[in-house]
Homo-oligomer: A and B are copies of this chain.
Amino acid sequence: MKLTQNIILKFATVALVFTMYSCKKETNAVSKNNATTQTDQAHPKLILTAQGVKDIRAQLGDIPIFDATLEAVKEEIDAEIALGIDTPIPVDYSGGYTHVRHKRNMIVMQKAGVLYQILDDEKYAKYVKDMLMQYEALYKTLPLHPKTRSYARGKLFWQCLNDSNWLVYVSQAYDCVYNYLSEDERVKLETNLFKPFADHISIDSPQFYQRVHNHSTWGNAAVGMIGLVMGDEELLDRALYGIKGLKLDTKEKDDDGGFLNKDGKAGFLANIEEPFSPDGYYNEGPYYQRYAMYPFLIFAEGLHNVKPELKIFEYKEGVLLKSINTLLNLSDADGDFFPLNDGQKGMSYYTSALVTAVDISYHFGIQDAGLLSIASKQDRVLLDDSGLAVALGIKNGKSEPFNKQSINLSDGPKGTQGGVAILRNDDVELVFKYAAQGSSHGHYDKLSYSLYEKGEEVIQDYGLARFVNIEQKGGGNYLKENKTWAKQTIAHNTVTQNETSHFNAKYEIGSKHHSVLNYFSSENQNVQVASAKEVNAYPGTEMLRTMAIIKDEDFEKPYVLDIMKVTSDKANKYDFPYYFLGQVVQTNFKYSVPKVLTALGDKNGYQHLFVEGTAKASSDNSKLSWLNKGKFYTLTSVTNDKDQLLFTRIGANDPEFNLRREAALMLRRKDSKNTIFVSTIEAHGSYSPVTESAINSNSNIKELKVVLDSADYTAVQITNIKGKVKLFITSNEEDSKKVKHNVKINDKNYEWSGSYYFE
């Protein structure tokens, strides 16, 4: 009777949305009933499998990392059970009590379900059942969430995104206790909770669901996973291909300024197709890839288990598993993801989503032994078949180091929209971004870079302006400074022309363009180079940046060579900042500090920079040395005496202390048409406050000189303090690595094949 009632209610709701839905509804009712009878014995089948449970039980007690994870989860869930169940009426934004509680509940249910299967202890099944029944009672009473800020409000949470998170986890819990429940209980839950829940985040919220966007991926996975458990083919279909027949306005935008659905694509497969490049680079960057990975992989695992015929892990040439390797490569030496675009610093491969990713990649991929060493660092595994495989691998001593090397990652669905190059040598890592816009989370920073040593930032990318889930800071959401500062070009280590951001910081324009690779070369262990061009950021201006990490026996550590060639059809003002972190140690130029700090400008991010010092640059090389976390660094930049140098500090016009007070040295060159910025950054020496000894605290470079700069070639001569001279020539129009080059510099002929010359 309840079922009928619910269908009638649903019909009423649905009629308000669009008429096609009523046809679907009937299909669904049928398939669900079929499923219920067919699959009673097959559960669990989604993530844990019946066979997997048998294998795990057989090995328990003899698989250390699995046993330890299980013990920790058991402790955690036993404590939760002791606390009792709370399913409060939703009222809060992220960080508030009801938000946190419902978020916690989804995790707790998923874990309790797993414990029931592995430990075969009914107390966990009962706990899941009791909580589900409370949700069933609650959910059917719920209107839209009272907080109105989201473009797609949920019911349990203020945004459908969080509702979807919940269903992704709870589907797993439901699968685990499926056989424990009576058919009546299942019907009750499916009819009053799961089905309407899935409908709300999809059919009722197409602006959220029917997109290519990380939000939609969660939505698709949620609908698909509950569909797999319920055996509901219609839900599965909706998950894989989107809401059939529904077209959204292609010009509408979401909260972040991204288009809702520019191309009309939707569904899980489209969400794999679009954002991942063939190299497995996710267009929004690693922070959002990490967030999106969980639904991608957990739903894929479910599909693999329940619908093996879909061959989901082979889809788009195996891009899902490939993307995990890519994501791991987008982390620094400590495992922290590079904060490209909107990325919160400190997010790392220690996050639980990456435990999922690493375990699934190991189990369903090629059993890469390097993944085992990361799993060991994570110190926990999934409590499922893949976690068992990892635990056995570690136990059997198969673990090997995960070696990150220089890598070039293409961007765009077909890999033709620029990319991200990571140069690595010893402890030095340079991340060079020449990608496409990166969807609504993209920053306006073509040809920008950040630099790391041993996992510590040397030249930083600011990341996002947000304190995720800290409710007191703007509800834990994006702060307005994300737009006014973090996304602007001047917040990044690249060229800003005439104090305006790339593409005028307009998403519509930026999302049409991408930079283009000139060349990437990592064959020579000692010279790793990436070179790329951007011609659209400022119409009429071309920027070609070539960045190298060079290991030279006369230097203590590898150093960075940075050549930014700017060609324009008119004279401009160029600003070229270096966001160094740490304490100024020395400069070779005289600077003066103002009595009063004023903002450098009034818009495009400049309004957030205080000027702390000003100088006329040196006529040949301007040098700045600084000390950060016990290491010395020196920037040497080719300058002329018309160049200005500015010490800036972030924090002007920041009425709520949302920004970090961090420094930069900015090179400003006015009235220039074509110009070139050349610099080196050396990491050198160390300082310990315990021994109080300063080792190798001075630059090893005597002179940096541009000896040729033509349309075809740029040549830079590097003289060290002992007088040894090295020459780097880069090809500015590289067609093929095979081509022979020949160039005369100061009456000497240089001939080589390949993209650059260094000797």
Knowing A348-B690, A690-B346, A697-B470, the reply to whether A597 touches B610 (Cβ < 8 A) is yes
Bound CA span A698–B344, Å: 22
13 contacts between A and B (CB under 8 A): A100-B693, A344-B689, A345-B689, A347-B690, A347-B692, A348-B690, A467-B583, A467-B627, A472-B697, A472-B698, A473-B585, A593-B653, A595-B598
- CB-contact partner of A469 in B473, B657, B694, under 8 A: B694
Bound CA span A691–B291, Å: 11
Question: Does A687 make an interface contact (CB < 8 A)?
Answer: yes
Q: Mark A658-677, 1 if CB is under 8 A from B, else 0.
A: 00110100000000000000
User: What is the predominant secondary structure among interface residues of chain A facing chain B?
Assistant: loop
Question: Does A540 make an interface contact (CB < 8 A)?
Answer: no
Question: Does A137 make an interface contact (CB < 8 A)?
Answer: no
Asked if A694 and B95 sit within 8 Å, CB to CB, the answer is yes
Cβ of A88 to closest chain B Cβ, rounded Å: 17
Please, which residues of chain B bring their CB within 8 A of the CB of A583? 467, 657, 660
Question: Does A599 make an interface contact (CB < 8 A)?
Answer: yes
- CB-contact partner of A694 in B344, B471, B627, B691, under 8 A: B471
Bound CA span A211–B652, Å: 51
| CB neighbors of B among A297-342 (8 A) | none
Question: Does A656 make an interface contact (CB < 8 A)?
Answer: yes
Asked if A612 and B468 sit within 8 Å, CB to CB, the answer is no
Among A346, A652, A660, A689, which residue has the most Cβ atoms of chain B within 10 A? A689
Asked if A653 and B595 sit within 8 Å, CB to CB, the answer is yes
Knowing A692-B347, A694-B95, the reply to whether A687 touches B470 (Cβ < 8 A) is yes
Question: Does A586 make an interface contact (CB < 8 A)?
Answer: yes
Bound CA span A697–B350, Å: 23
Asked if A346 and B689 sit within 8 Å, CB to CB, the answer is yes
Asked if A95 and B697 sit within 8 Å, CB to CB, the answer is yes
Question: Does A351 make an interface contact (CB < 8 A)?
Answer: yes
Question: Does A584 make an interface contact (CB < 8 A)?
Answer: yes
Who on chain B is nearest to A607 by CB? B595
Please, which residues of chain B bring their CB within 8 A of the CB of A627? 467, 470
Cβ of A462 to closest chain B Cβ, rounded Å: 14
Asked if B655 and A593 sit within 8 Å, CB to CB, the answer is yes
Please, which residues of chain B bring their CB within 8 A of the CB of A584? 656-657
Who on chain B is nearest to A612 by CB? B651
Who on chain B is nearest to A598 by CB? B596
Please, which residues of chain B bring their CB within 8 A of the CB of A592? 655
Bound CA span A675–B34, Å: 79
Cβ of A384 to closest chain B Cβ, rounded Å: 20
Q: Mark A88-106, 1 if CB is under 8 A from B, else 0.
A: 0000000100001000000
- CB-contact partner of A692 in B344, B586, B653, B654, under 8 A: B344
Please, which residues of chain B bring their CB within 8 A of the CB of A656? 584
Bound CA span A652–B593, Å: 9
Bound CA span A688–B346, Å: 8
Among A345, A592, A693, which residue has the most Cβ atoms of chain B within 10 A? A693
Q: Mark A638-652, 1 if CB is under 8 A from B, else 0.
A: 000000000101011
Asked if B593 and A599 sit within 8 Å, CB to CB, the answer is no
Bound CA span A178–B655, Å: 70
Bound CA span A660–B626, Å: 13
The 8 A-B pairs of least Cβ separation, nearest first, read: A346-B689, A584-B657, A597-B597, A472-B586, A470-B694, A468-B692, A472-B585, A351-B690
Bound CA span A655–B613, Å: 8
Asked if A476 and B691 sit within 8 Å, CB to CB, the answer is no
Cβ of A653 to closest chain B Cβ, rounded Å: 7
Bound CA span A663–B345, Å: 22
Question: Does A625 make an interface contact (CB < 8 A)?
Answer: yes
Please, which residues of chain B bring their CB within 8 A of the CB of A347? 689-690, 692
Q: Mark A575-598, 1 if CB is under 8 A from B, else 0.
A: 000000001111000001101111
Cβ of A651 to closest chain B Cβ, rounded Å: 7
Who on chain B is nearest to A660 by CB? B583
Cβ of A68 to closest chain B Cβ, rounded Å: 19
Cβ of A424 to closest chain B Cβ, rounded Å: 23
Bound CA span A322–B118, Å: 57
Please, which residues of chain B bring their CB within 8 A of the CB of A694? 95, 469-471, 476
Who on chain B is nearest to A613 by CB? B657
| 19 other A-B residue contacts (CB within 8 Å) besides A95-B697, A472-B625, A647-B657 | A95-B694, A344-B689, A347-B690, A468-B689, A470-B585, A470-B627, A470-B687, A472-B585, A472-B586, A476-B694, A583-B657, A592-B655, A593-B653, A593-B655, A595-B599, A596-B596, A596-B597, A597-B598, A613-B657
Who on chain B is nearest to A661 by CB? B661
Knowing A472-B586, A697-B471, the reply to whether A649 touches B661 (Cβ < 8 A) is yes
| CB neighbors of B among A619-633 (8 A) | 625, 627
Q: Mark A688-719, 1 if CB is under 8 A from B, else 0.
A: 11111110011000000000000000000000
Who on chain B is nearest to A591 by CB? B655
Cβ of A179 to closest chain B Cβ, rounded Å: 32
Please, which residues of chain B bring their CB within 8 A of the CB of A653? 593, 595
Bound CA span A525–B99, Å: 37
| CB neighbors of B among A205-233 (8 A) | none
- CB-contact partner of A593 in B654, B663, B692, under 8 A: B654
Q: Mark A186-207, 1 if CB is under 8 A from B, else 0.
A: 0000000000000000000000
Please, which residues of chain B bring their CB within 8 A of the CB of A654? 593
Please, which residues of chain B bring their CB within 8 A of the CB of A471? 694, 697
Bound CA span A584–B688, Å: 30
Who on chain B is nearest to A688 by CB? B346
Please, which residues of chain B bring their CB within 8 A of the CB of A100? 693
Please, which residues of chain B bring their CB within 8 A of the CB of A610? 597
Q: Mark A520-564, 1 if CB is under 8 A from B, else 0.
A: 000000000000000000000000000000000000000000000
Bound CA span A647–B654, Å: 13
Please, which residues of chain B bring their CB within 8 A of the CB of A467? 583, 585, 627
Please, which residues of chain B bring their CB within 8 A of the CB of A698? 472
Who on chain B is nearest to A662 by CB? B661
Bound CA span A649–B613, Å: 16
Please, which residues of chain B bring their CB within 8 A of the CB of A344? 689, 692
Cβ of A657 to closest chain B Cβ, rounded Å: 4
Asked if A692 and B596 sit within 8 Å, CB to CB, the answer is no
Bound CA span A697–B95, Å: 9
Bound CA span A687–B656, Å: 19
Who on chain B is nearest to A649 by CB? B661
Among A584, A597, A688, which residue has the most Cβ atoms of chain B within 10 A? A597
Cβ of A595 to closest chain B Cβ, rounded Å: 7
Cβ of A314 to closest chain B Cβ, rounded Å: 31
Q: Mark A265-291, 1 if CB is under 8 A from B, else 0.
A: 000000000000000000000000000
Bound CA span A597–B656, Å: 16
Who on chain B is nearest to A689 by CB? B346
Please, which residues of chain B bring their CB within 8 A of the CB of A660? 583
Please, which residues of chain B bring their CB within 8 A of the CB of A693? 100, 469
Bound CA span A472–B654, Å: 34
